[in-house]
Amino acid sequence: MNGRRWFWLYFAATLLVIVFLFPFLWMLLTAFKQEGYGLVFSLRVPYTLDNFRRVLFQFNFGRYFLNSLIIATASALFSTLFASLAAYAFAKGRFPLRRTLFVIFLSSMMVPGLLYLVPQFLIVYRLHWINTYWGMIVPHLANVFGLFLLTQFLREVPDSLLEAARMDGASELRIFGWIIVPLAMPIIATVFLLNFQFHWANFLWQLVVAQDQSMYTLPVGLAMFKGQHQEAYSLEMAAATLSVVPIAVLFVFAQRYFIEGITRGAVKG
């Protein structure tokens, strides 16, 4: 490829980057503008950090942020752990109806998630988990997609490696912790990131369970805030920035594991 083709290729890639990043940059700039300048397109408008202070303390988004962080981290951590253990059992275990159960789990992915809403709510209600972290975390700890992704990778791990560990007296949990986890770390990190992103952005279930304002998460708080402050564009963008930045930062620091995990999953599958 000659120099002219490289130039046009990079030029087109740069244009695409600008197009995709422009909404995020606009949101970020608007978040720092003083109230009343939200729709003014100029770099000379007065900027301030007061929007974030008001959003965090005056409008209680600090509490919403903490709720989202607790729920997303706990849900992603435990759902990834359970998916990893289940994937190890399905990939390397030998028990009755193993293939049948795996197919049933995969079939559940074809059922729309809204169909689970009412049964899950009834269970949470009878357990008295309304307005609790338990009610927001426990119903979504089963992660079938993560189970599938991890199982496809672990099937390619040589059985001889595990048999050698068993001959040395290693238990199944020790094999899982010292052999399986290091080998599958990119896939495990990918599943964790996907789970974290899902629970961080989850709106409907958190809205149903969090019937008290003190239990709102960022998506719920942002929706309620936008309904009450339609003209406060700077404050709205400051609140939206708080909900987006953690995901962006997490992806920047873990993108190597994410890309490697997706690539490995695709190849092994």
pLDDT digits (tens, 9 = 90+) for 165-193: 988 888 889 999 999 998 888 889 889 98
- Kindly indicate the confidence band of residue 268, based on its pLDDT and cuts at 50, 70 and 90: very low
Residue 76 has pLDDT above 90, yes or no: yes
Q: What does pTM read for this prediction?
A: 0.85
Distance CA 80, CA 190 (A): 9
Residue-wise pLDDT tens digits, 27-63 = 888 888 887 777 777 777 888 889 999 998 888 899 9
Enumerate the β-bridge partners of residue 47.
33
End-to-end CA distance of the chain: 33
pLDDT tens for 194-212 read 899 999 999 999 999 998 8
Domains and CATH numbers, the chain: 55-268 (1.10.3720.10)
Contact 16, 8 (CB under 8 A): no
